[in-house]
Amino acid sequence: MCGINGAFAYHYAANPIDRSELVAVRDHMIARGPDGSGLWMSADERVGFGHRRLAIIDLSPSGHQPMSSADGRYVVTFNGEIYNFDALRRSLETRGHVFRSRSDTEVLLHLFAEKGAAMVHDLRGMFAFAIWDTLEKSMFLARDPYGIKPLYYSDDGWTFRFASQVKALLAGGGVSGAPEPAGIVGFYLFGSVPEPYTTYAAIRALPAGTSMTVARLGAPEPKRYHSIAATYAEAQAFDAPPTPAAATIQAALRESVRDHLVADVAVGAFLSAGVDSGALVGLMRDAGAVDITTVTIAFEEFRGQHADEAKLAEEVARSYGTDHTTRIVTQSEFSADLPRILEAMDQPSIDGVNTWFVAKAARERGLKVAISGLGGDELLGGYPSFRNVPKLVGWLRLPGNLPWLGKLLRSATVPLARAAGLNPKLPGLLEYGGTDAGAYLLQRGLYLPWELRHWLDADLLATGLERLAPLAMIARALEPCPRSAFARVAALESSLYMRNQLLRDTDWASMAHSLEVRVPLVDSVLLKAAAPYAGRFDGRTGKQLLGSAPSKPLPESIIARPKTGFTTPIEDWQKAMPDDPHPKSGHQHLTGKNAPWAREWSTKIARYQICGSAA
C-alpha cells in the first residue's frame, strides 16, 4: 500500500526523463508512503520508477521498491496488497523460482516472468503496478478488478507518465492542466468523475480490471481482463446451483476475510452500526484475529437520534471483545480540516469526508491497516436502487420507447416542478426511467443532463456530454448483460458508484492519513462465489445472511435496523461555508430544499477542485 509513479520516454524524439520531475511526483504522495522511498532509472535514462512505501508486509529493507528481478530483466513498482501471495509464491517455488524476500512485490516479478500479461488472472487483492521489461523495452501496467487502488496516466505523444494520484502527476510539472469537459460534466452528473476521465484532458485513469503494455508507440487502448457484469452474466447463464446460497456465500465471506488479514502489522476495523462492518469484525475474530482495534465516528448533532452509530457500534464491539474507540467529530474540527480535505481530495467528489475522519481516528489509534465494510450493499443488494431501478424500468419501459414523449413531458413539466418546489429530477422520469441505464442515472444522478446548462459553459457542456455519453457509459457497465435485475443493479452500483466514488474517496481519504483500508466485501473471488445466487436474496435477507455469517452472529438489533450508511452532519456544516458560485440567472430551485442536498455541497467542491467550471 503505497504511492507509485513512473515515466517512459518512449518516442525517439523525446528527451530523457527528468529525475527531478520523477522525485517531485513521488514526493507529492508522501502521505501514501511515509516509511520510505525509492527511485530507479534505467542507464539510458529513458525510463524510471518512483515509489513511496507504507510498510505492511515484509517490513525489512528486502521489501524495498522499485524492486528488480534477480537477473535484472524486470523492475516493478507496486501499490496494494496481493492477498494470495503466499500461495502464489509456493506454487512458483515448486516450478523453480527462487525468492529473495518475503514480500508480495517479488511474487509479481516472478509471476510476470512466467506468465506475462496473463498474470493478472492469478492475483487476488487490490493493486496497481507497473513492470518494466528491460529486454522488450516495454512497460506493463495493471489495476485490480474493482479499481480499489488508483492508477492514472498521461501520454503527451512523446512521454508516458503514471502515478497513483492525479494531483501528483500535475505536481511534476510535465503534464498539462487543461480541463477535460467529459470529466467536469461527469462530476456534475454523478458527484464523482467517471473513469477513465479525470477533470484534466491530459490525464486518464487506467480503468479497473484492465491492463496495458506501453512500448515504442506509447499508450495503447487498455485491455479488459475482468468485468463485474460478465461475472454475473456467466454465473447466471445456467440455473443457480442447488447448494443453499447462504452456506456457500458465508463460506466465501469467511475465506475473503481470512485472506484480507495477511499483514505484519496489526489490522483493525472501522465499525458502524451497520451489518457489514459488524459482521466483518465477527469474521475477523473467527479467522483468529485477537486484540482487534475498532473505531467509530460520532457527532454531537446526532446524539440520541437514529443516525447516531455510537451506541450500537459499542454494543457490537462489546459483543466481539474489541478494543473500541468512539471518536467525536465536531463542526469546528470539520472547518479546521476542510482545507486539508480539499487538498487531499484527488479528484472532485461529493463524498469522502466521513472516511477522512474515521481514517484519522484509526491512525490516532496507531493503526496502519483497517478493514472496512464497503461493498456489502453492492454485493448483497442493500441500496434502494435494487428495488427502485427494476420497478421504474418495469413501469416505464413501454412509454420510454417513445423518446420524444419523454422529452416533451420533461420540457412541459420543468416549470411546474419548479413552481411546486418538487424534486427537480422528477420531470425526467419518463425520459430516463424506461431503461436500466436511464433509471440508474435518475437514481444516482446528482444532476440530470438538462439541468447542467445552468452551471456550465455551453461549449464545455456540449463537448463534455458528447464525449461522456452518460447513458452509453452506464450501459457499458452492463456488457454482457446479466439476466436478473438484481445482478444488473449490482453490476451498475459496483462498476459506477462504488468504483468512481466510494473506492476512490476511500483511497485518498485514508491514504492522506497513511492508513491502508482493506475491503473484504470487494473481492473478485467472493463475487464469483456469490454471483450464481444473485436475486435469490434481497437487501433484507442478504444482510441477514451476512449478519449471521460469524460463528457468533450479530445481535438482531443490528441486523433488523434500517440502513443509514455512514452519515455525517455535513449537510448542515457545509451551509457555513462561503456560498459561491451561484447558478446562473435565478435557478436556485436546482439546489432548493427538495433537491438532493449534495448539490449545494458539489458547487462548493467544484469551486476548489475545478478551475473555471462553475458559471
Partner 1 sequence: MKILALVTDGFGASGGIGQYNRDLALTFSQNSRVRGLAVVSRFGNEKAARVAGINQGGSHAHWLPWSLTALRKALQMRPDVIFCGHLYAAPLAALVARSLSIPLWLQLHGTEAWTAKSPTVRRASETATLVTSVSRYTRSRFLEWCNISPTRVKVLSNTFTAATEKPTRPSALAADLGLSGRRVILTVGRLSAAERYKGQDRIIAALPAVLAQHPDAIYLVVGSGDDRARLSALAQTTAVADKVIFASDVSVEQLPDYYALADVFVMPSTGEGFGIVFLEAAALGIPVIGGSADGSADALADGRIGRMIDPCDVAAIADAINLALAGKQPCDRSAVERFSQSNFENHVDALLRSFGQSSGTIRS
Stretch that binds partner 1, among 7-15, 39-47, 257-265, 278-286 (CB under 8 A): 7-15
Beta carbons of 120 and 170 less than 8 angstroms apart:
no
DSSP designation for 405: H
Minimum CB separation of residue 177 from partner 1 in Å reads: 12
Nearer to partner 1 among residue 220 and residue 384 (C-beta) = 220
DSSP designation for 220: -
Stretch that binds partner 1, among 10-18, 89-97, 338-346, 593-601 (CB under 8 A): 10-18
> Is the alpha carbon torsion for 581, 586, 587, 593 positive or negative?
positive
Nearer to partner 1 among residue 218 and residue 569 (C-beta) = 218
Minimum CB separation of residue 117 from partner 1 in Å reads: 14
Beta carbons of 187 and 468 less than 8 angstroms apart:
no
Nearer to partner 1 among residue 218 and residue 539 (C-beta) = 218
Nearer to partner 1 among residue 182 and residue 228 (C-beta) = 182
Minimum CB separation of residue 198 from partner 1 in Å reads: 13
Beta carbons of 137 and 217 less than 8 angstroms apart:
no
Nearer to partner 1 among residue 10 and residue 533 (C-beta) = 10
- Helix or strand holding residue 40 (H, E): strand 36-41
Cβ-proximal residues to 214 (8 Å cutoff; 6+ apart), any chain: 8, 10, 138, 139, 141, 155, 160, 220
Nearer to partner 1 among residue 201 and residue 422 (C-beta) = 201
Minimum CB separation of residue 202 from partner 1 in Å reads: 7
Minimum CB separation of residue 10 from partner 1 in Å reads: 10
Query: Does 122 engage in binding with partner 1 (CB under 8 A)?
Result: no
- Helix, strand, or coil (residue 184): helix
Count of residues of this chain found to bind partner 1 when the rule CB under 8 A is applied? 22
Beta carbons of 528 and 269 less than 8 angstroms apart:
no
Place of cell 468504483: 499
Minimum CB separation of residue 557 from partner 1 in Å reads: 52
Alpha-carbon dihedral of residues 610, 611, 613, 615, nearest 10 degrees? Answer: 120
Give the chain's length: 615
Stretch that binds partner 1, among 201-209, 235-243, 531-539, 607-615 (CB under 8 A): 201-209
Cell of 363: 491512525
Cβ-proximal residues to 305 (8 Å cutoff; 6+ apart), any chain: none
Minimum CB separation of residue 180 from partner 1 in Å reads: 10
Minimum CB separation of residue 457 from partner 1 in Å reads: 14
Q: What is the x/- site pattern for partner 1, positions 55-94, by CB under 8 A?
A: ----------------------------------------
Cell of 103: 514480500
Between CA 373 and CA 380 the distance in angstroms is: 12
Nearer to partner 1 among residue 220 and residue 244 (C-beta) = 220
**Helix residue ranges per DSSP H, 495-537:** 504-511, 524-530
Minimum CB separation of residue 490 from partner 1 in Å reads: 29
Cell of 66: 522499485
Stretch that binds partner 1, among 8-16, 28-36, 109-117, 364-372 (CB under 8 A): 8-16
Subset of 131-160 contacting partner 1 (CB under 8 A): 155-158
Residue 68 φ/ψ, nearest 5 degrees: -100, 150
Q: What angle do CA 182, 30, 268 make, to 5 degrees?
A: 95
Stretch that binds partner 1, among 162-170, 186-194, 196-204, 288-296 (CB under 8 A): 196-204
Q: What is the x/- site pattern for partner 1, positions 202-241, by CB under 8 A?
A: x-x-----------xxxxxx--------------------
Nearer to partner 1 among residue 157 and residue 244 (C-beta) = 157
Query: Does 201 engage in binding with partner 1 (CB under 8 A)?
Result: yes
Nearer to partner 1 among residue 181 and residue 400 (C-beta) = 181
- Helix, strand, or coil (residue 142): strand
Residue from the set 12, 61, 90, 95 that interacts with partner 1 by CB under 8 A: 12
Minimum CB separation of residue 138 from partner 1 in Å reads: 12
Burial of 32 from C-beta contacts in 10 A (0-12 / 13-18 / 19+) = buried
Q: What is the x/- site pattern for partner 1, positions 455-484, by CB under 8 A?
A: --------x--xx-----------------
Minimum CB separation of residue 77 from partner 1 in Å reads: 22
DSSP designation for 591: G
Beta carbons of 611 and 170 less than 8 angstroms apart:
no
Nearer to partner 1 among residue 176 and residue 557 (C-beta) = 176
Beta carbons of 520 and 526 less than 8 angstroms apart:
yes
Subset of 158-187 contacting partner 1 (CB under 8 A): 158, 176, 178
- Helix, strand, or coil (residue 132): strand
End-to-end CA distance of the chain: 39
Burial of 376 from C-beta contacts in 10 A (0-12 / 13-18 / 19+) = buried
Minimum CB separation of residue 11 from partner 1 in Å reads: 6
Place of cell 487531499: 344
Residue 431 φ/ψ, nearest 5 degrees: -65, -40
Minimum CB separation of residue 195 from partner 1 in Å reads: 14
DSSP designation for 63: G
Nearer to partner 1 among residue 170 and residue 297 (C-beta) = 170
Between CA 246 and CA 546 the distance in angstroms is: 9
Nearer to partner 1 among residue 15 and residue 60 (C-beta) = 15
Q: What is the x/- site pattern for partner 1, positions 238-277, by CB under 8 A?
A: ----------------------------------------
Nearer to partner 1 among residue 15 and residue 588 (C-beta) = 15
Which parts of this chain interact with partner 1 (CB under 8 A)? Answer: 11-13, 15, 155-158, 176, 178, 201-202, 204, 216-221, 463, 466-467
